[in-house]
Amino acid sequence: MSSCPNHIAIIMDGNGRWAKNKGLKRTAGHEEGAKVVRDITKHCSLLGVKYLTLYAFSTENWTRPKLEVEFLMKLLERYFKSELPIYLENNIKFRAIGDISKFSKSLQKIIKDVEDKTSNMSGLTQILALNYGSRDEITRAVSKLVSSNQTINEENISLNLDTADFSDVDLLIRTSGEVRISNFLLWQCAYSEMFFSSTLWPDFNSNELDEIISDYSLRDRRFGGV
Ligand code: FPP
């Protein structure tokens, strides 16, 4: 039997449908989704979860309409500005994974600044996947190994992924009823338990997370053994 997961990863899906169902613009769904990011992060911190990784912007999300991408960039800037005191009050460390060099200089600076200012926090680590794609991450890791003449093996690949400092994912959750992984943490989810919820991300809440964790705690994780 497994207890509370050490590392939870969430594909936060359904913002657009949530907004459409309410006759609102898609951006309203993202705005509401950002509030849920805060609630779920605080809840995981209280539960004693060590790592929470959230898929905030994928390498494929650039293909969305220009206005939506611009809105998401501004939302991230606003989020980080308002979030710093919340990380500090709750002893939460913030880390980004993904290739943030494609973001504007100002957004990159804010991200680095929040990482620096929370680096001494010892509670939950909230990891946001930003311009993240698992294939891109693995390719970058292998390229680093090749260019530094290191052996290509599992340990070295893990050590060169953006997630090198974190343990593998124990529980992967996707909201909105879609049942796919969408290029998220493919390496790190090799043995994770998966849970697919039909709730749209802006409606997701801590009670549902508790139910999922309770289901997870009953699962028998064998990691390929018997
Ligand atoms: C998927 O919903 C969601 C995203 C692509 C972005 C996730 C962003 C947030 C939760 C808000 C911003 C995050 C932070 C950290 C401030 P979708 O737009 O694909 O929804 P749909 O499938 O219903 O269209």
Q: What is the CATH number of the domain that holds 113?
A: 3.40.1180.10
User: Within a domain: residue 125?
Assistant: yes
The tokens describing 198, both together, are 């039909």
Q: Is residue 189, in this structure, part of any structural domain at all?
A: yes
Query: Would residue 31 count as lying in a domain?
Result: yes
Number of structural domains the chain divides into: 1
The distance from CA 30 to its chain's CA centroid, rounded to whole angstroms, is 15
**Hey, which of 18, 30, 41, 110 would you mutate to test ligand 1's pocket, going by the most ligand atoms within 8 Å of its Cβ?**
30
Strands 93-97 vs 7-11: parallel, antiparallel or unpaired:
unpaired
CA angle in degrees (0–180, nearest 5) for 94-86-193: 50
| Nearest-angstrom CA–CA distance, 135 and 164 | 15
Its pTM stands at 0.96
Pairing mode of beta strands 7-11, 51-58 = parallel
> Which structural domain range is residue 25 located in?
7-133+168-217
Nearest CA to ligand 1 atom 14: 34
Q: Is 162 part of a structural domain of the chain?
A: no
Which of 13, 15, 162, 170 is catalytic? The answer is: 13
Residue 187 vs residues 90, 158, 178, 210, 215: alpha-carbon distances, Å: 30, 8, 20, 26, 23
Q: Which amino acid is at 6?
A: N
Nearest to 80 by CA among 45, 54, 113, 46: 113
Of the candidates 61, 90, 156, 183, the residue annotated as catalytic is 61
Per-residue pLDDT of the chain (226 residues), as tens digits, is 458 999 999 999 999 999 999 999 999 999 999 999 999 999 999 999 999 999 999 999 999 999 999 999 999 999 999 999 999 999 999 999 999 999 999 999 999 999 999 999 999 999 999 999 999 999 999 999 999 999 999 999 999 999 999 999 999 999 999 999 999 999 999 999 999 999 999 999 999 999 999 999 998 888 888 7
* 202 membership: H or E segment, kind and range: none
Encoded amino acid at 74, one letter: K
Q: How many helices (H) and strands (E) does the chain have?
A: 7, 6
| 215 is known as an active-site residue | no
Angle at 32 between CA 212 and CA 65, to 5 degrees: 110
Q: Is 71 within a domain?
A: yes
